[in-house]
Amino acid sequence: MSDTTSAAYGDLLDRVGRLSNVSHASELLSWDQQVMMPDEGTPARSRQLSALSAVRHDLLTDDELGRLLDDLEAAGLDDERRAVVREVRREQERAVRVPTALVERISAASSEALTAWREAKAEDDFGTFAPHLSELLDLKRRYAEHVDPDRDPYEVLFEEYEPCLPLDHAEDVLTSLREAVVPLVEDIRAADADLATDTFTGTFAADRQDGLMRDTLDALGYPWERGRLDVAPHPFSTGTTYDARITTRYDEDDPIGALLSTVHEFGHATYTLGLPDDAYGTPLGEARDLSIHESQSRLWENHVGRSRAFWERFLPRVVEAFPGVGDPSVREAYEAVNAVDPSNLVRVEADELTYHLHIVLRFEIERDLLRGDLDVAEVPAVWNDKMESYLGVRPETDAEGCLQDIHWSHGSFGYFPTYSLGSVIAAQLFDAAAADLEGLDDLIRAGEFDPLHDWLTDRIHRHGKRFETNELVRRTTGEDVSADAFVDYATAKYGELYGLQG
Amino acid sequence: MSDTTSAAYGDLLDRVGRLSNVSHASELLSWDQQVMMPDEGTPARSRQLSALSAVRHDLLTDDELGRLLDDLEAAGLDDERRAVVREVRREQERAVRVPTALVERISAASSEALTAWREAKAEDDFGTFAPHLSELLDLKRRYAEHVDPDRDPYEVLFEEYEPCLPLDHAEDVLTSLREAVVPLVEDIRAADADLATDTFTGTFAADRQDGLMRDTLDALGYPWERGRLDVAPHPFSTGTTYDARITTRYDEDDPIGALLSTVHEFGHATYTLGLPDDAYGTPLGEARDLSIHESQSRLWENHVGRSRAFWERFLPRVVEAFPGVGDPSVREAYEAVNAVDPSNLVRVEADELTYHLHIVLRFEIERDLLRGDLDVAEVPAVWNDKMESYLGVRPETDAEGCLQDIHWSHGSFGYFPTYSLGSVIAAQLFDAAAADLEGLDDLIRAGEFDPLHDWLTDRIHRHGKRFETNELVRRTTGEDVSADAFVDYATAKYGELYGLQG
DSSP labels for A424-493?
HHHHHHHHHHHHHSTTHHHHHHTT--HHHHHHHHHHTGGGTTSS-HHHHHHHHHSS-S-SHHHHHHHHHH
On whether any CB of chain A is under 8 Å from the CB of B243, the answer is yes
Q: How confident is the model at residue A436 (pLDDT cuts 50, 70, 90)?
A: very high
**Is residue B394 classed as helix, strand or coil in its secondary structure?**
coil
What's at A14, amino acid-wise?
D
* Mean pLDDT in residue range B265-273: 98
With beta carbons less than 8 A apart as the criterion, state whether A357 and A182 touch.
yes
Question: Contact B28/A29, CB-based, under 8 Å?
Answer: yes
> Which of A28, A37, A39, A240 has the highest number of chain B CBs within 10 A, making it the mutation to test binding with B?
A28
**Are residues A246 and A266 in contact, defined by beta-carbon separation less than 8 angstroms?**
yes
DSSP class of residue B416?
T
Please choose, from the candidates B381, B416, B375, the residue with its C-alpha nearest in 3D space to the C-alpha of residue B395. B381
pLDDT band of A263, cuts 50, 70, 90: very high
- Position B58: which residue type? D
Sketch the domain layout of chain A as residue ranges: 3-97
Sheet containing A229-231, strands listed edge to edge, beginning at the edge strand earlier in sequence: A229-231, A243-248, A237-240
Instruction: Note whether B24 contacts A48, CB cutoff 8 Å.
Output: yes
Label the pairing between strands A243-248 and A229-231. Answer: parallel
Instruction: Give the residue numbers of A marked as catalytic.
Output: 265
> Which among B37, B55, B226 is the nearest to A243, CB-wise?
B37
Segment A429-449 shows an average pLDDT of: 97
Q: Which of B101, B134, B102, B128 is nearest to B115 (CA)?
A: B128
What string of DSSP letters covers A59-86?
Answer: HHH-HHHHHHHHHHHTS---HHHHHHHH
B227 — contact with chain A (CB < 8 Å)? yes
Residue A80 neighbours by CB under 8 Å, 6+ apart: A284, A466
Closest-CA residue in chain B for A35?
B36
CA distance B444 to B440: 6
Q: Which of A17, A224, A242 sits opposite B43 (nearest CB)?
A: A242
A79-99: average pLDDT: 96
Phi, psi of A238 (to 5 degrees): -155, 165
Please, are residues B342 and B185 in contact by the beta-carbon 8 Å criterion? yes
What sign for the dihedral angle of Cα A42, A44, A47, A49? negative
Cα A147 from Cα A384, distance rounded (Å): 33
Q: For residue B369, give the nearest of B380, B385, B354 by alpha carbon.
A: B380
Q: Identify the burial level of B223 via C-beta atoms within 10 angstroms of its C-beta, where 0-12 means exposed, 13-18 middle and 19 or more buried.
A: middle
Instruction: Determine contact, residues B294/B418, Cβ cutoff 8 Å.
Output: yes
> Which pLDDT band, with edges at 50, 70 and 90, does A501 fall under?
confident
Distance CA B265, CA B120 (A): 30
Chain A nearest-CA distance from B315, in A, is 30
Give the Cα separation of A398 and A63 in Å (integer). Answer: 47
Q: Give the H or E element holding residue B8.
A: helix B3-35
Instruction: For residues B3-23, give the mean pLDDT.
Output: 96
Smallest CA–CA distance, residue B264 to chain A, in Å, is 21
Rounded alpha-carbon distances, angstroms, from residue A430 to A301, A473, B35: 12, 11, 38
Residues 6+ apart with CB under 8 A from B213: B229, B248, B258, B259, B262
B335-387 pLDDT, tens digit each: 999 999 999 999 999 999 999 999 999 999 999 999 999 999 999 999 999 99
pLDDT confidence tier of residue B442, bands split at 50, 70 and 90 = very high
As a whole number of angstroms, the distance between CA B14 and CA B8 comes to 10
* Alpha carbon distance B324, B202 (integer Å): 7
Establish if A25 touches chain B: CB-CB under 8 angstroms: yes
How many whole angstroms separate alpha carbon A97 and alpha carbon B202? 68
Integer Cα distance of B340 and B337 in angstroms? 9
Give residue B427's pLDDT.
98
Average pLDDT value over all residues in chain B:
96
Spell A180-189 as b/e; 16+ CB within 10 A means b: bbbebbeebb
**Chain A nearest C-alpha distance from B238 (Å):** 13
Position A134 pLDDT exceeds 70: yes
ipTM higher than 0.85? yes
| Mutation target among A243, A246, A273, A277 for the B interface, most CBs of B within 10 A | A243
Interfacial B residues in 110-149 facing A (CB < 8 Å): none
* Greatest extent of chain B over all pairs of C-alpha atoms, in Å: 71
Is residue A142's pLDDT more than 70? Answer: yes
Q: Is the pLDDT of residue A426 over 90?
A: yes
Calpha distance A365→A272 (Å, rounded) = 32
Predicted confidence (pLDDT) at residue B502 exceeds the cutoff of 70 = no
Q: How many CB pairs under 8 A join A and B?
A: 117
B481/chain A closest Cα distance in angstroms: 33
Mean pLDDT computed over A369-396 = 97
Q: B79-97 vs B42-61: helix axis angle to the nearest 10?
A: 120
Question: How far apart are alpha carbons B485 and B474 in whole angstroms?
Answer: 13
Determine the Cα–Cα distance for residues B69 and B379; give it in Å rounded to an integer: 43
Q: Give B443-469 pLDDT, tens digit per residue.
A: 999 999 999 999 999 999 999 999 999
Binding site of A for Zn(2+), by residue number, is 264, 268, 294
CB contact residues (below 8 A), chain B span 4-23, against chain A: 17-18, 21-22
pLDDT in tens, A192-221: 899 999 999 999 999 999 999 999 999 999
For residues B40 and A225, the answer to whether their CB atoms sit within 8 Å is: yes
Which run of H or E residues covers position B140? Answer: helix B126-147
DSSP per position, B293-349: HHHHHHIIIIIITTSHHHHHHHHHHHHHH-GGG----HHHHHHHHH---TT---GGG
Rounded-to-integer distance, Cα A430 and Cα A296, Å: 10
Residue A245 has pLDDT above 80, yes or no: yes
| pLDDT tens profile B152-199 | 999 999 999 999 999 999 999 999 999 999 999 999 999 989 999 999
> Mean pLDDT of all residues in chain A?
96
